[in-house]
Amino acid sequence: MVAAVCGAAAPWVPDAWAGGKKSMGSGSDALARAVQEIEASVGGRLGVALLDMATGRQRAHRGDERFPLCSTFKLVLAAHVLRRVDQGQERLDRRITYGKSDLMEYSPATERHVGGDGMTVEQLCEAAVTLSDNTAANLLLGTQGGPLGLTAWLRSLGDSQTRLDRMEPALNDVPPGEVRDTTTPRAMARTVWAVTQGEALSSAARAQMLAWLVGNRTGDRRLRAGMPEGWRIGEKTGTGPRGTSNDIGLFWPPDRGAVMVSCYLTGSPAPAEQRDAALARVGALAARWALEGTAPAAKG
């Protein structure tokens, strides 16, 4: 299904999702109304996509509308690094050195290692995913052909929507109507599935990807906050100007397969705390929706 990563593009979209245009807001059910109420409570546009591959269930609200990626692109960035490791084009233990001039705003890990031996590729990936370190992301982008190289890899996976055009921090400036540095909730949910549950990466690389996502330290007040206690969740957040707060990833209900979730909020006049709370409410809705299914436990 994901053979395209090795050559010419080939369909990889899960059969359960292919061609699906169902809108969470198209019906009168409680889930649709609840998502619309959350959107109304904070203003702006709220895009949500849910994908339960074990049951074939999927729902979306504004699933095919474009939203700013912001730092959610770092999930795909780390996955591309792991793909290059799988192919023998990169090593996780390779060190990358950098100077003070390379530091971007918000670089909690890389700012401690300026000069000297720098950081390994693995350390940079961990910093980019778990801490959303901007310098780490730029350094990694420089190893894989920049934003265009990352976008090309997404196209080889079958993701025709997600695109990265600029580096940090410019990529966060996405005014209404801009297509650069954007994705759609539906496309991102598919891509999260491909790099964590599908065949885009080796089993060892998928395990590493999941470890980074589960170890995320920036999303405690977003989707994770709405999940029942004890549930496992892996996520990558994104935050930008113009009232933008995002969170994407996957979660595991007890004794169930993983469920993909992507949540993008932009154009909201609400303060950051209220936007976080809105995403937490989406997390709670996603958990309830998942429990309606009958997905078997995932292997491994």
Catalytic positions, please?
71
> What percent of the chain is helix, strand and coil (3-state, nearest 5)?
40, 15, 45
Q: Are 136 and 119 in contact (CB under 8 A)?
A: yes
Residue 88, sorted as left (phi over 0), alpha (psi -120 to 50) or beta, turns out to be: left
How many whole angstroms separate alpha carbon 294 and alpha carbon 256?
A: 8
Please state, in angstroms and as integers, the Cα–Cα distance from residue 222 to each residue in 63, 139, 150, 196, 274, following that order: 19, 27, 26, 20, 10
Q: Are 235 and 247 in contact (CB under 8 A)?
A: yes
How many whole angstroms separate alpha carbon 128 and alpha carbon 80?
A: 13
What is the four-CA torsion angle of 188, 174, 63, 230, rounded to 10 degrees? 60
Which 8-state DSSP code applies to residue 163? B
Output the 3-class SS for 134-145.
Answer: HHHHHHHHCCCC
